[in-house]
Amino acid sequence: MKAEILPTHTPALFAAAVARAAELMSHGEIAALPTETVYGLAGNALDPAAVGRIYAAKGRPASNPVILHVGSLDLAIRSAGGWPLLAERLAAAFWPGPLTLVVPRGPGIPDCVTAGGPTVGIRWPIHPFVPAVVRACGLPLAAPSANLSNRLSPTSADHVFRQLGDRISLIVDGGDCNVGIESTVVDVTGSEPVILRPGMIHSEAIRAAAAGDTVVASSACVETGPARSPGQLPIHYAPRARLQCLTWRDETDLAQQAAALGVNPSRTWLVAYNRIPMSGRWAWVSVIPDDPEAYARGLYGELHRADDAGAEWILVEALPSTPEWAGIVDRLNRASR
Ligand code: TXA
Ligand code: MG
């Protein structure tokens, strides 16, 4: 099987792709669909056989719960077994958007979605495709990232095709993902919100919205380390190349650190945003803007390109430790080994 890729760049193509995806979802089939964070591998969340197909295509362990995707607040509340005040506040502030709320599980949600646990993670994406499919088929969709288990998440239809192209029948091309890293996952079942996976909606914004304050977009406050999602492994989101974050004073300092690591510069992909190496010593140098939103949007594409080029090492200029960067720093830490 080779996946068909459906474009969505005109209203007619978008509508046709929605109809096709909705039909597959209604028949228990799966398809890779665009969202603003990363592409998701979607299926009917209420059908254990469809969710099983998602797990099988990814090669994913059943101990990791999947996120339920909706296209309205109403469907989110109906899928939950209670809607805490914190959920109400965070949904009002950030939905639709790159935020997953972990709430008490509703009665109709199968064990394979929650990994048998008492909670369910729910997200309403702001990219219009998945909400349109949900409305067309009337079903919430289970959708983990559309990559093979333990590999890099896809931020383009091409990334999906290269990992899953011979395992699924349909990939909907919604363009490059606008956010670029996976959603912030927040447990709202207790008295305080607990960040299980940091993302581009950062801790200070969550704190302000949870307290009922007006949300400020960015802040210089200090990050308090997040707790971990139960299913998250320490190494995850990893490229094939070895990845290491480094801080360098200048290029001589960088070359010395690289030599100490045993890195061969001619097989090394550098990712910098501030102190940009200029010599011809490095095989590839990517410059990503010194801005968290732009950086997140570009990061996975650079890591995919490094892997495709056959890089042995990826050396990444270490990032600031402020809340706006926390989601990106988390992904880089998971990708290094
Ligand atoms: O941005 C995203 O969230 C993307 C797009 C496709 O929506 N999806 C995604 O799904 O990243 P996945 O399956 O790759 O990651 C889901 C994360 C995992 O870390 C999982 O442990 C956590 O969410 N999660 C899901 N349900 C949970 C629950 N009930 N309790 C705690 N963590 C949960
Ligand atoms: Mg994933």
Residue 181 host element (H or E)? none
In the numeric block, which tokens belong to residue 151?
A: 């590999």
Contact 113, 68 (CB under 8 A): yes
Query: What is residue 127's three-state secondary structure?
Result: coil
Q: What stretches of 95-147 show up as alpha helix (H) in DSSP?
A: 111-114, 129-137
Phi and psi at residue 40, to the nearest 5°: -110, 150
Q: Whose CA is nearest to atom 27 of ligand 1?
A: 121
Is 114 touching ligand 1 by the criterion CB < 6 Å? yes
Is 185 touching ligand 1 by the criterion CB < 6 Å? yes
Instruction: List strand residue ranges (DSSP E) for the chain, in order.
Output: 4-7, 31-33, 40-44, 67-69, 99-104, 119-123, 141-142, 170-173, 184-187, 194-197, 242-246, 268-272, 284-287, 313-317
242-335 architecture in CATH? 3-Layer(aba) Sandwich (3.40)
Contact 113, 45 (CB under 8 A): yes
% the chain with pLDDT above 70:
93
Give the separation between CA 275 and CA 72, rounded to whole angstroms. 44
Q: What does the pLDDT average to over 132-161? A: 97
Show me where the domains of the chain are located.
Answer: 4-181, 242-335
Q: Alpha carbon 255 to chain centroid distance?
A: 33
Contact 203, 224 (CB under 8 A): yes
Q: Whose CA is nearest to atom 6 of ligand 1?
A: 40
Q: Which of 318, 257, 319 is nearest to 282 (CA)?
A: 257
Residues 6+ apart with CB under 8 A from 25: 31, 42, 43, 44, 50, 133, 137, 139, 141
Q: What is the pTM of this model?
A: 0.93
Give the separation between CA 336 and CA 238, rounded to whole angstroms. 7
Q: What does the pLDDT average to over 301-321? A: 95
* Ligand in closest contact with the CA of 153: 2
Q: Do domains 4-181 and 242-335 have the same CATH topology?
A: no
CB-count burial class (<10 Å; 0-12, 13-18, 19+) for 182: buried
* Ligand in closest contact with the CA of 199: 1
Considering just the CA atoms, what is the radius of gyration of the chain in Å? 20
| CA 225 to ligand 2 center in whole angstroms | 20
Q: What is the mean pLDDT of the chain?
A: 92
Amino acid in position 296: A
Give the separation between CA 153 and CA 148, rounded to whole angstroms. 8
Query: Hey, which of 63, 67, 127, 183 would you mutate to test ligand 1's pocket, going by the most ligand atoms within 8 Å of its Cβ?
Result: 67
Is 100 touching ligand 1 by the criterion CB < 6 Å? yes
pLDDT given for residue 233 in this prediction: 55
Contact 173, 7 (CB under 8 A): yes
* Ligand in closest contact with the CA of 104: 1
| CA 279 to ligand 2 center in whole angstroms | 36
Q: What is the pLDDT of residues 69-114, one digit of tens each?
A: 999 999 999 999 999 999 999 999 999 999 999 999 999 999 999 9
Q: If one looks up domain 4-181 in CATH, what number appears?
A: 3.90.870.10
Q: Whose CA is nearest to atom 29 of ligand 1?
A: 120
pLDDT given for residue 222 in this prediction: 30
Q: What does the pLDDT average to over 1-21? A: 97
Residue 277 host element (H or E)? none
Residues 6+ apart with CB under 8 A from 258: 246, 265, 268, 315
Query: What is residue 70's three-state secondary structure?
Result: coil
pLDDT given for residue 206 in this prediction: 97
Query: What is residue 85's three-state secondary structure?
Result: helix
Instruction: State the closest ligand 1 atom to the C-alpha of 115, by its place in the atom list counted from 1.
Output: 29
- Please check the confidence at residue 217 and state whether its pLDDT lies above 60: no
